[in-house]
Amino acid sequence: MKKILITGFEPFGGASVNPALEAVKQLGEAKLEGGEIVVCEVPVTRYESVDTVIAAIETHQPDFVITVGQAGGRAGITPERVAINVDDFRIADNGGNQPIDEPVVVDGPDAYFTTLPIKAITRTLQEQGIPCQVSNTAGTFVCNHLFYGVQHYLSGKNIGHGFVHIPLLPAQDTTGNQATMSLDVIVEGLRLVAQATIDNKQDVAIGAGQIC
Ligand code: PCA
C-alpha cells in the first residue's frame, strides 16, 4: 500500500477560492488501488509554503508527494516537468513578499526535474477523457518556489514528487473568457494522477514536447 500526500494552495491575489484547495478537501476521501491519499493545505507564502509541506512529509512519511496549484488560463491539468531556482513574483504573495530575480535556494542547482511519471500520467488522464498536457514551466511565483523547495529537500531521499497545475473553476471566471474545469473533473483528474503515479514505476517514452 503506497501513501500519497497531495497538497493544495489556499486562495491568493485577493481571490476567495483556489481550486487546488477545494480539490484537496475532497481527495482525502478518494479511493486508489494499492494506495491511500493524505492531504494538506499550503499557504501562498514564500518560505512557509515549503516548511508546511516538509512538516507534512515528516508527519505522514509518504511514498509520493503531489503538490497542486491553480494556473489561470490553462485549459487542462498540467503536470510540470521542471522547477527553476528563481523567485520573480509579479504580485506579492499572501505574506507580502515580492522578490525579484532571487534564488529559491542560495547556491542550489539551476533546476530540478519532476520525479513523477508525467508522460504516463498525461496518457492516463487523456484516455479517461480529461484534458491533460505536460507543462514546461511552473512560472516563477510560489508554485515554482514550492516545487523547487520540496525537490531540494527530497534530494537523495526515496520519495517521488512533482507539481501539477490545474485550471480555474467556472465560478472564477464569470466573463467566460478563460478556460475553466469543473471541480468534479479536477478531483477525478488528480485522483488519476495519484493512481498513475502508483502504477508506473518507470515513465513511458511518448512524445509530449512543445514547439514555441
Ligand atoms: N498558484 C500560484 C501560487 C498558488 C497557486 O495556486 C502559482 O502558480 O504560482
Instruction: Find the 1 Cα to ligand 1 centroid distance in Å.
Output: 30
Catalytic, out of 40, 145, 165, 188: 165
143 catalytic, yes or no?
A: yes
Q: What is the pLDDT of residue 147?
A: 99
Topology given in CATH for the domain delimited by 2-199 = Aminopeptidase (3.40.630)
Protein residue whose Cα sits closest to atom 7 of ligand 1 = 143
The angle at the Cα of 113, spanning 111 to 116, to the nearest 5 degrees, equals 155
Where are the chain's structural domains? 2-199
Q: CB of 141 closer than 6 A to ligand 1?
A: yes
Return d(Cα 164, Cα 101) in angstroms, integer.
Answer: 23
Take residue 186 and report the three cell numbers written for it: 479536477
Residues of the chain with pLDDT under 70: none
The pLDDT value recorded for residue 28 is 93
pLDDT in tens, 75-97: 999 999 999 999 999 999 999 99
